[in-house]
Structures are given as structure tokens and as C-alpha cells.
Amino acid sequence: MPAEPPRLTTAEVAQRLGVRPATVYAYVSRGLLSSHRNGQGKGSLFDRDEVDTFLSARKQPLLPGIQTGITLIQGGRLQYRGHDAIQLASVASFEEVVHLLWTGTRDYVPLPADETQRRLAEAVIGPLPAIARHTDRLRVAVAALAAADPLRFDTSPAAVTATARTLLGTMVATLPLAGRATSAGSIAERLWPRLTAGEPTPKEHSLLDAALILLADHDIAASTLAARVAASTRANPYAVVGAGLAALDGPLHGAASSLAHPLLAESMSRPDPIGTIADQLRSGEPVPGFGHRLYPDGDPRATALFEMLGDTRAREAAERLVDIMRTRSGLRPNVDLALAALCMEHGMPAEAGETIFAVARTAGWIAHALEEYGDRPLRFRPSGEYSVPRSR
């Protein structure tokens, strides 16, 4: 008799597929995998060959390859158009990096707000409830600004960059004030009083500038893919930014720093941060602000921001968490923890990190849209794998 094929336990299948055991059971209920009871009638067993076939099918690319000359992440380094992003964060302005991402040339070009657009956006977002976050307001404002621009479907490079410059400036000007307003200056100088009432110094403006630069783009992240798919349909630049903002809204993407913020705040209020991490682990959720699959040796953006923060209470609290996580699990901090520390140190609310992320990444979405407008339209058309429960 031929030997039975080797079988795997539920835990082994979950590890092999990189999912939770509950997800394995969901695959079984949908008929995507078949299971067998073990000899004792307890637990489930799975055919190794079937699991491997399922895994191979999941690994097949569903989207066309995206050729991009914008961002390179390699060997623990982040580069924009061949320039080291960490170095740019210490010597350049956000405006310079925006121009670099959009045109390939580093030059300072202002990002002005349009007063007519600002008044329209404020009128539209005014009725929103007080609990609306900054990114909620930005999504509504961007949609309203699109409706008011009859020439928005001009996707020539000159038209897109002109539209996007004013859009970025107006997005910032639309946000409610927390401190004393300034209508002139850089994006960082205009954004600061909308994040905190604290009076900034030139050093703090430079810190916010650096954060914007480090978050401006990150290759084909989830929100960037959404933006490129929209651009491939020849959606206008406002719609591209709207698509990016929609994907950014998830707690696993742009809102991740807002989850790290309360973790950091709690650790600062307790004598031993181990309890903070233990409570998070007990909830069954990963500890926010740690780990990044593209940076197994540590996120260079986090390292850069922490260094720029200097010797502050928030950085000290973050480093206590970092020491514990590195010792226990080997996980290193990512930019979300550093962004949360920046916000906490300067009296910014938890959502401020998401706001910084959204303003910064708008520059990257437009850069990718410019590439996509120059490529074949409607090239993103994956096919679904239709499945129905198998008959019992």
C-alpha cells in the first residue's frame, strides 16, 4: 500500500501560510482547503501537498509589474530619485523634495494655498462634527476642490504639478488651528500651528520638515497602489489623492502612529514599561510601532527622527520600550513609534501623526500618478479566483 501523504496540524498550516489559525478555519469553511480529523478525533489535519499548492497560488502576482524611478528601498536604505532620503531630511526642505519627486530635479518651489479654494473647503468641512479627524476633513475638502475645478482632467505633467502644488498648500490651510496661524512660509511652518498650540522654534520647524520628507514616499505601499490604480483609469489628480487618503485611513497604514501614541503615553506614566507591553500582548494584537518587513535590521526613518528629537522625555520613554522589545522579540522600532514620540513631545494629539503622514504622502501619490499617466491605461486588471464551498 502506498504511504499516506504527510499531513500538517492547524498550527503548522497557519505558520506555513503566515496567517492565524482562525484564518485557516475560514479557508476551510469557504472550501479553499480541506481538513481531516486526526486519529483521536481532536483537532484537524491537512494534506501537505494541498497546502503547498494553495500557497503557490497565493504567491502568483495578481498585478502587472510596476516600473518606477521614484523610490528605492534596498539594503536598509531609502532613496528618492537616487538621493539618500535620510540625508535629504537633514539638509533639504519638504518643498525641495516634492520638486525632486515630481520632476527629478531638486529645487525649492513654494506650495501656496489658493484663497478661493481654501474658503470653499472650509465651507464644506465646517458642518462636520467636532470628532472628525484631520484626515476626515482632508478627504471631504479634496473632493470639494475637485468638483470646483473644471480643468481637473488635464493630466499633462505641467497641469498635474501646478494643480498638486496648490492642492497641497490648500490642504494644510484648510485644517483647523490649534495655535497662532501663519499664512506664509514653508509647509512645515504652516502645518505646525494646526497640530499644536506650542510655539515652535526654527529647530522644531526643521524637525517637522524632516518628518514630512521621510514620509513623502515609500515605494508601492498600500495607499500608493490605490493612487496608481486610480491614475491608471485616468482619474484626475484630486481623485488620485482621494484614493490614497482612503487607503491611508486603515489602522495598519497611515493611522499606525496614532496607535503607538497611547502606548507611549501609558509607558511614560508607569514605572515599568514591561506592564504596558504585557497588556498589549495580552490583547492578542501586535505591539504598534515595531517591526517592518522591508527593514529587518531597523527602520532608518525611525533612527533619523529619534536622533533629531534629541534627549527628550518622549524619546527616553520610547527607548525603554525599544530595549524591552529588542531583548524579548528582536523587533526594532519603525517610523510610527518615532512619529508618535515627536507628537507627544510637542503636545500634539494622537491623530497628528496621521495628519503629517497624509500631507507628506500626498507628494508621493502625485509622483506615482505622474508615472502612471505616462503608462498604458487600465493596466491593473487582476482576476479573482472564484470559489464556492465544496459539497459535504
Q: Which of 99, 134, 261, 292 is catalytic?
A: 292
Rounded CA gap, 193 and 347, in Å?
Answer: 11
**DSSP states of 89-113:** HHH--HHHHHHHHHHSS------PP
How many other C-beta atoms lie within 10 A of the C-beta of residue 26? 13
Rounded CA gap, 1 and 13, in Å?
Answer: 27
Per-residue H/E/C for 11-62: HHHHHHHCCCHHHHHHHHHCCCCCCEECCCCCCEEEEHHHHHHHHHHHHCCC
217 included as an active-site residue: no
Q: What cell was used for 270?
A: 508607569
DSSP 374: T
| Nearest to 358, CA basis, from 200, 234, 242 | 242
What is the SS3 assignment for 351?
coil
Question: For residue 78, how many C-alpha atoms fall within 13 Å in the half-sphere facing its CB?
Answer: 23
**What stretch of H or E contains 120?**
helix 115-125
336 included as an active-site residue: yes
Q: Which residue bears the cell 504567491?
A: 59
Rounded CA gap, 186 and 180, in Å?
Answer: 15
Q: Residue length, the chain?
A: 392
How many other C-beta atoms lie within 10 A of the C-beta of residue 18? 9
Q: What cell was used for 246?
A: 482612503
Rounded CA gap, 87 and 307, in Å?
Answer: 13
CA 230 to chain centre: 17
Q: Which of 209, 217, 299, 336 is catalytic?
A: 336
Q: Which residues form the catalytic set?
A: 292, 336
